[in-house]
Amino acid sequence: MAKIIGGVATSHVPAIGRAIAKELQADPYWAPFFEGYAPLHRWLAQARPDVVVVFYNDHGLNFFLDKMPTFAVGAAETYRNADEGWGIPEVPPFTGQRELSWHLINSLVAEDFDLTTCQEMLVDHAFTLPMALCWPDQRWPVTVVPVCINTVQFPLPSAARCWRLGEAVGRAVRHWDSDARVMVLGTGGLSHQLDGQRAGFINRDFDRAFMQSLIDDPTWATRFSIPELVEKTGTQGVELLMWLAMRGALGEQVHEVSRNYHIPISNTAAGLMVLATDD
Ligand code: DHB
Ligand code: FE
C-alpha cells in the first residue's frame, strides 16, 4: 500500500513568483522568507516523495464566480499553469497521477463527499509557487493530484469539513495499491486580508497558535466557524483551511521537521511547516 511520508504547508503569495523570476532570494526583504525553505529541501532530498497531493485554492484561473465547486479533484494527464495577471512567469507543466486521482475520487464519493472531477484543469499560483518552493529547479520529480478547496466565494466549507476531507484523503491514499511515497502539500495563509477596510490585517498571535496546534492539538481550529476565522485571520487568511486538510491527511503521529514564520510578504504573514509521519 502507498505510504504518506509527510506533509508541507506553505503560503503562496504571488510576489514569490516574481522574486524567483528576478532571483531576489538573497535580497534583504526576501532572505528571511527563502532561508526558511533550506530545511525543507534537505528533508525532501531524504524523504524522496514520488507523488504529491496538493490542497490549494484556485483564485479565478480555473474556476470563476459563475461556477465554483466546494471541492474539486484533478484527474488530468497534465496540469498547465497560465497567465493569471500577477506578472508571474509560467512554470513547466505538471504530470498527473491519474490512478491516484481516480482512487481518491472513488473513495471520497463513497464517503459522501460531493466533488467536481476535473479531467482538464489549469493550476494557479496557489499550486505552482509552493511546488517551485519545494523544487526550485522546476524539474518536478513527482507526479501530482490537485485537490481544490473553495475559499474564494461564500459559502465556504467549514474547518471541520476540511479536516474530515483531509482525513478521508489520508485514508484513501493509505489504501491505494501502490508502493508510492506520497507527500501532502497544503497551500495558503497565513493571516491576510487583501480587501476592504481591514486590508493589510495580520494576526501574529493567532497564526502562531494555529501552527503550534498542528503539532499539539490538530483539530483546534475546527472549533471556529468561517466568520470567526475571517475575523481572526482576515478574509484571505481562511486559506489556512488547506493547512488543516493537509494535517488531517497525515494521521495521528507526526513530528515537526521545521517551521518558519515571517511578516510580511506582500500583505501576508508567510508561514511554512514541514511535518514527517512517524510510521
Ligand atoms: C497575496 C496573498 C495571497 O494568498 C494571494 O492569493 C494573492 C495575494 C498577497 O499577499 O499579495
Ligand atoms: Fe491566496
Atom of ligand 1 nearest to the CA of 192: 10
Distance of CA 222 to CAs 156, 157, 274, Å?
Answer: 13, 11, 21
Number of domains in the chain: 1
Q: What is the pLDDT of residue 25?
A: 98
Ligand 1 center–CA 267 separation, angstroms: 7
Atom of ligand 1 nearest to the CA of 125: 6
57 lines ligand 1 (CB under 6 A): no
| Of 180, 95, 92, nearest in space to 145 by CA | 95
Q: In what order do the strands lie in the sheet with 3-10?
A: 116-118, 71-74, 143-149, 51-56, 181-187, 3-10, 268-277, 254-265
Q: What pLDDT tens digit does each residue of the chain (279 aa) get?
A: 999 999 999 999 999 999 999 999 999 999 999 999 999 999 999 999 999 999 999 999 999 999 999 999 999 999 999 999 888 999 999 999 999 999 999 999 999 999 999 999 999 999 999 999 999 999 999 999 999 999 999 999 999 999 999 999 999 999 999 999 999 999 999 999 999 999 999 999 999 999 999 999 999 999 999 999 999 999 999 999 999 999 999 999 999 999 999 999 999 999 999 999 975
| Of 52, 65, 74, 62, nearest in space to 187 by CA | 52
What pTM was estimated for this model as a whole?
Answer: 0.98
192 lines ligand 1 (CB under 6 A): yes
- Spot the catalytic one: 12, 59, 103, 192: 192
12 is catalytic: no
**CA nearest ligand 1 atom 6, residue:** 13
Ligand 2 center–CA 57 separation, angstroms: 7
Q: What CATH number is associated with residue 136?
A: 3.40.830.10
Report the mean per-residue pLDDT for the chain: 97
The 3-state DSSP class for residue 258 equals strand
Looking at the DSSP assignment, which residues form a beta bridge with residue 255?
Answer: 276
192 is catalytic: yes
Ligand 1 center–CA 42 separation, angstroms: 27
Q: Which ligand is nearest to the CA of 265?
A: 1
Which domain covers residue 132, as residue numbers? 3-277
14 lines ligand 1 (CB under 6 A): yes
